[in-house]
Structures are given as structure tokens and as C-alpha cells.
Amino acid sequence: MERMKHYRVGYGTDLHRLEPNGRPLVLGGVLVEHPKGFGPVAHSDGDVLLHAVIDALLGAACMGDIGTHFPDSDPRWKDADSSELLELALAMTNLHICNVDIVINCDRPKIGPYRNEIASNVSRLLGMVSGGVNIKAKSFEGLPLQGGVEAIYVQAVLLAQLA
């Protein structure tokens, strides 16, 4: 048990609506093409995947959540690049990330073609050697969402070590 005390686990989720007049769809810092051109409606760049990873990271550090540090009421974070928010959060936490497991839930777009690029970009942003980030994709089974909008829901769990 002594050896385990420097390890921390963190879990984060995020959900964004996708709408016809949304922002460009960015997942894990990678521009992804939606077949109907839908994108997120958000204060920042709306990168739902990085928002879930930031919450997992802050959770592992017992440092609250993304809204605590980067509130959407603060004009500083309007149009913010979530890659930069992740780098800021990482610098605050003093953690080395061991691995991250991510589930992307959406009916569209198909994640498969982007999986490797997203994994390697998230790995790079977290200062990890490649191979430590796993991306899984699940669908909503075509269930109709309220109001006919689409959505992406992301869950992320990570293991970290105190630096």
C-alpha cells in the first residue's frame, strides 16, 4: 500500500450540443468533420473531449472542476483554445499522467478515422510518451435527442502520479 500512495485517479465528463450554426467541431485538439456541418455551441472552443480530460485531471489533483478555474462567465475564456486550458490545468496540478482512457459517445461523426490523431495529440498535450491515451467510441443508438439537436458526450478517466 505504501507504494500506491502517490497515485491518484481522476474522472471527468462533458456534454455539448451540436447545432447547424455551431463552432467548428474540435475533439482533443483535432478538427473533425461532421457530415452535416454541425458544431458545438460553447463559450470556449467547445472541445468536449479536452473538457472531460481537464475535469479528470483536476479531479485527480482534488482541485475542483473546469468551471472553478475557467468559468464561462469570465471573458478571458471566451473563444479559449482548450489545448491551452489543458496545459494551464496540468501546470497547476503537479501531476505526471500515467494513462488516460476516454469514451466518446455520439451518433455522428464517426470517430474511427480520427482516433489515432486524437490519442496522440492528447498524449502530447499531457506530456506523455505515446501509447498512454486510449480512445473508444460509442453511439447513442440513434435515440432522438430533445428538440432534434445532436450531442457529444465524453467520459475520461486517468491515473496520475504526484510529480
The reply on whether position 51 binds Mg ion by CB under 5 A is: yes
| Min separation Cβ 128 and Mg ion, Å | 22
| CA distance to 19, 48, 138, 142, per residue, from 156 (Å) | 23, 11, 13, 22
**Cα–Cα dist 84/133, whole Å:** 18
Rounded (10°) angle between helices 115-125 and 48-60: 40
Residue 17 in contact with Mg ion, rule: CB under 5 A: no
- List the one residue from 12, 14, 61, 105 that touches Mg ion (CB under 5 A): 14
DSSP run (H or E) holding 82: helix 82-93
Selected range binding Mg ion among 14-22, 88-96, 107-115, 155-163, rule: CB under 5 A = 14-22
In the complex, least distance from residue 14 CB atom to Mg ion, rounded to whole angstroms: 4
Nearer to Mg ion, 45 or 121 (CB): 45
Please state, in angstroms and rounded to a whole number, the distance separating the CA atoms of residues 91 and 95.
8
Q: Which is nearer to Mg ion, 13 or 98 (CB)?
A: 13
Residues in the site for Mg ion, rule: CB under 5 A? Answer: 14, 51
